[in-house]
Amino acid sequence: MVSRERFYRAFGELLYVVATKDGLIQKQEVKILEEIINQHPMGKEIKWSFDYEREKNSSVDEVYKKVLEVYKDNGPDYEYDFIIYALEKIAEASDGINREENEVITNFSRELLEKFKKDLS
């Protein structure tokens, strides 16, 4: 299991991946992101992580791989439902969910589920 701080940093990084996947982070995506994470007790940490990756202009693929490893190491968690909800809302924010954004969300869910099922076997 990873620290909660690292868990929430990965959340911000994953939001960065989805927001960037369509090529450009839109103002509407940032607005929705802020509305969603302001409801969360760790919202400031999540937003900091998102902003950090954005400022570094990090590689989306590298950030995604790092996030996936963090969550695989963490194991099942009650926050995954909220994470998926946030990812979908960010993706919908600018002209609906496109193919690339949908792939990230679908692959994230599938890869974690496969890992957790394997761990139970």
Average pLDDT over residues 104-120: 92
Contact between 105 and 18 (Cβ < 8 Å): yes
Average pLDDT over residues 88-114: 93
DSSP codes, 38-63: TTSTTHHHHHHHHHHHHHHT--HHHH
Record the pTM.
Answer: 0.94
Residues 6 or more apart whose Cβ sits within 8 Å of residue 74? 1, 2, 7
pLDDT of residue 23 exceeding 90, the answer is: no
Contact between 86 and 18 (Cβ < 8 Å): no
Tens of pLDDT, residues 29-45: 999 999 999 989 999 99
Q: For the chain, what are the domain ranges? A: 4-120
pLDDT of residue 74 exceeding 90, the answer is: yes
Neighbours of 93 (CB within 10 A): 22
pLDDT confidence band for 1 (50 / 70 / 90): confident
Average pLDDT over residues 50-66: 96
